[in-house]
Amino acid sequence: MVIGLLYLTLRIRVKRLPFYQALLLALALCGSAASFAEPPSTQPYYQWGRGMSWPSANFNLGGYFNILDNLPTNKQGNQLKLDELSLFLTWSPHQRLHFFSEVELDEWLSTAKIANINNALRAERLYVDILASEAATVRIGKFLTPIGRWNIIHAAPLTWTATRPLVTDELSFSSHLNGAMLTQRLQFNDNNVSIMVYADDSSKMDVFDNSTLGFDTALGGRINFESDHSWQIGLSYINFSNLLTPKLQRNDLLGADFLWKKNGYEIMAEGIYRHTGDSQGQEHGFYLQGVAPLAKKFFAVGRYEYLQGTHHFVATDDHIGVAGLAWRPYVPLVVKAEYQFGAVHDSFAPSGFFASIAMLF
């Protein structure tokens, strides 16, 4: 697998790698991957999609990559790139302690440029979970902002499209927090409720991340209600100031989201309303996405988005559509192809064809 990734890296450095060759390479890696059968639990072992595990040390090493091909109609950003190469490390030295880190090379190699590795390297997540009780957990460090569902899903192999809805991107709110979060889980019959409250101080705590769009400080919470494992409803709130503009007024953001899954079908929706009284303005929008299974592990995917207001200081009133296919020949691997009917401000969400290959290893 490592040899395959090095081969891919060299090919991207030398010339534009046709998308179908990247697909063949991913399938070749799949052919040499371990089976999904549960391996022996006493010795170190590798399991495709779940990484390398050392049960006696409660240690796991895994990750994923995402190769993205952008072909927007405006020709801006037209490139094939290794969009993400992430490495996961999990360690549980005690039954009440759980360490997790995700280190990522973000947009490092592409046909447009080769980024400086110091600029591309970032700590995507780096935290410790402390199990205060069977139902309460304290998380300290850098972790994903619990707003909506897309941002929590995070990894490209777990999403259905190569593009990301505008209401979930970092121009609306930072995808990461640096601070502490308390999670309390409650159960009522077959219904589960999770309550999260968190505080952020990214201006002092952020770990080697070169983004200027993060939070300066933030305070918020989320409630998620899950019923019979088929549908969930979430509500989120956060008050924050931006690292890029810390002296401007603080933002208030409200979010609501919904997820339903059954027999391979899926409906997911998120909506946000962000308000502030200064030049950052306010915005509101939502997306509605549906997935339907087709033959031979193909899935049809459709999404509609609407965004109105001031998005990163630019007035918007945009309707966006996405129509595509996703192929999951194996659980850890997904190949996506879609056409995006883009926004008026095409620098945010341009029209065009997008495709990606993502795989957990």
For residue 201, give both structure tokens: 């101080």
Predicted confidence at residue 141, as pLDDT, reads: 95
- Whole-angstrom Cα distance, residue 352 to residue 319? 15
Q: What is the DSSP string of 24-73?
A: HHHHHHHHTSPPSSPPPSSS-EEETTTEEEEGGGTEEEEEEEEEEEEEET
Digit-coded pLDDT (tens) for 112-142: 666 667 677 888 899 999 999 999 999 999 9
Distances (CA, A) of 80 to 67, 84, 133, 158, 326: 7, 12, 47, 21, 18
Predicted confidence at residue 248, as pLDDT, reads: 87
Predicted confidence at residue 75, as pLDDT, reads: 73
Q: What is the mean pLDDT of each run of 10 residues along the chain (361 residues)?
A: 38 45 55 53 87 94 95 80 92 95 83 67 92 96 96 94 93 93 93 96 77 87 91 97 87 97 96 91 96 95 96 89 97 97 79 96 95
Is the CB of residue 67 less than 8 Å from the CB of residue 356? yes
Predicted confidence at residue 8, as pLDDT, reads: 40
DSSP conformation class of 19: H
Give me the torsion for CA of 303, 293, 358, 57, rounded to 10°: 120
Nearest to 103 by CA among 131, 142, 53, 132: 142
Predicted confidence at residue 10, as pLDDT, reads: 34
Give me the torsion for CA of 339, 170, 268, 178, rounded to 10°: 150
Q: How far is CA 198 from the centre of its chain?
A: 19
3-class state of residue 156 by DSSP: helix
Q: How far is CA 133 from the centre of its chain?
A: 28
Predicted confidence at residue 14, as pLDDT, reads: 35
Neighbours of 93 (CB within 10 A): 11
Could you tell me the domains of the chain? 2-360 (2.40.160.10)
- Whole-angstrom Cα distance, residue 43 to residue 51? 14
Sequence-ordered list of residues with C-beta below 8 angstroms from that of 58, at least 6 positions apart, any chain: 91, 92, 93
pTM for the model stands at: 0.86
- Whole-angstrom Cα distance, residue 57 to residue 208? 28
